[in-house]
């Protein structure tokens, strides 16, 4: 159980438990929402003795469980007897903020769907009072923005193996449309185009002859130097901001030569820096391709 980590998330309905859960998922925790309290000890027992690689768990328990208030305190006592290490995160917010959030979503309060929201909130506060006293962490989201909550969660629960940003490098052709999922779009249509060389026209940007053709021009050399500085500066800023995924799209006219070459260059740069990076050539095979190398097989640009 050395590496076993358990976080139990509870608190006021409408205080941000769902957002907290999503933030923890981004930190590579396995989240189970609305687990009946009576099942928690068995779940913990199974997970803590599992040989699976998954060792970080989040359980969200709240008033949606019908027997929540009658059993949850007993369940916590039982976990304590098992000597299972866990942290109890209590999500809090002011009455006015919770009422406003329920008004915006037009949802009924799970504590008492037929009561006024203000009355249901008071019932829930009273029922949660003793549980709140046992919390290891209390987060009041009344004045927090989504990004601020995510940052707070990250500071509390991020581990050395969690939250690595996933980077996807995507080459594409502008004539097939700009990828909707792109965070950054690089237009490399200004680079010399191998399409006009008959010997290179049907070879992709990963083939040595094409790569050598594109790379021999001064404009390409200057661009790659500036691009390397730009990417090396920008990626850590996104990581510090808490972004979980970054899509870098590189486009040329058809998505076969220049975009493939530059996308591979970015992929290699990031991989050498030990980032978690993938590459995809979206439109490559929409062209007439007679010779192409996979990025893992490219030895030299």
Say if CB 265 and CB 188 are below 8 A apart: no
Q: Are strands 276-281 and 87-92 parallel, antiparallel or unpaired?
A: unpaired
Residues 6+ apart with CB under 8 A from 49: 1
Q: Return the DSSP state at 298.
A: -
Q: Please state the residue numbers annotated as binding site for ATP.
A: 11-18
d(CA 181, CA 188): 18
Tell me 267's DSSP state: H
For residues 195 and 206, give the distance between their C-alpha atoms in angstroms, rounded to a whole number: 14
Question: Cα separation of 297 and 207, whole Å?
Answer: 10
**Cβ neighbours around 90 below 10 Å, total:** 22
How far is the C-alpha of 21 from the C-alpha of 146, rounded, in Å? 12
Q: Which H or E run contains 7?
A: strand 5-11
The C-alpha atoms of residue 245 and residue 169 are separated, in whole angstroms, by: 11
Q: Residue 33: which residues within 8 A CB-CB, separation 6 or more?
A: 18, 21, 60
Q: Measured between alpha carbons, how far is 280 from 267 in angstroms, rounded to an integer?
A: 10
Binding residues: 11-18, 62-65
286 secondary structure, DSSP code: G
* Contact between 283 and 256 (Cβ < 8 Å): yes
Q: Which residues are annotated as a binding site for GTP?
A: 62-65
Residues in the chain: 301
């Amino acid at each position: 159980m050395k590496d076993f980590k358990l976080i139990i998330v509870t608190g006021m309905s409408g205080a941000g438990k769902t957002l907290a859960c999503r933030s923890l998922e981004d930190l590579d925790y396995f989240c189970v929402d609305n687990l009946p309290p009576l099942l928690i000890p068995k779940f913990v027992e199974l997970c803590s003795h599992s040989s699976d690689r998954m060792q970080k768990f989040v359980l969200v328990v709240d008033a949606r469980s019908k027997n929540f208030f009658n059993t949850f305190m007993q369940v916590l006592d039982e976990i304590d007897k098992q000597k299972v290490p866990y942290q109890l995160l209590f999500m809090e917010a002011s009455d006015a903020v919770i009422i406003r959030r329920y008004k915006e979503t037009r949802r009924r309060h799970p504590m008492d769907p037929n009561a006024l929201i203000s009355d249901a909130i008071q019932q829930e506060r009273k029922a949660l009072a003793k549980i709140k006293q046992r919390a290891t962490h209390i987060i009041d989201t009344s004045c927090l923005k989504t990004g601020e909550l995510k940052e707070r969660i990250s500071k509390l629960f991020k581990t050395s193996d969690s939250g690595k940003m996933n980077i996807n490098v995507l080459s594409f052709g502008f004539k097939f449309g700009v990828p909707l999922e792109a965070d950054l779009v690089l237009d490399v249509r200004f680079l010399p185009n191998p399409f006009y060389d008959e010997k290179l026209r049907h070879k992709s940007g990963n083939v040595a002859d094409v790569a050598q053709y594109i790379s021999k021009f001064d404009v390409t050399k200057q661009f790659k130097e500036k691009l390397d500085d730009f990417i090396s500066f920008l990626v850590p800023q996104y990581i510090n901001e808490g972004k979980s995924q970054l899509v870098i799209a590189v486009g040329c006219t058809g998505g076969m030569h220049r975009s493939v070459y530059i996308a591979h260059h970015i992929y290699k740069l990031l991989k050498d820096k030990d980032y978690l990076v993938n590459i995809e050539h979206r439109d490559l095979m929409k062209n007439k391709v007679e010779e192409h190398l996979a990025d893992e097989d490219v030895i030299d640009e």
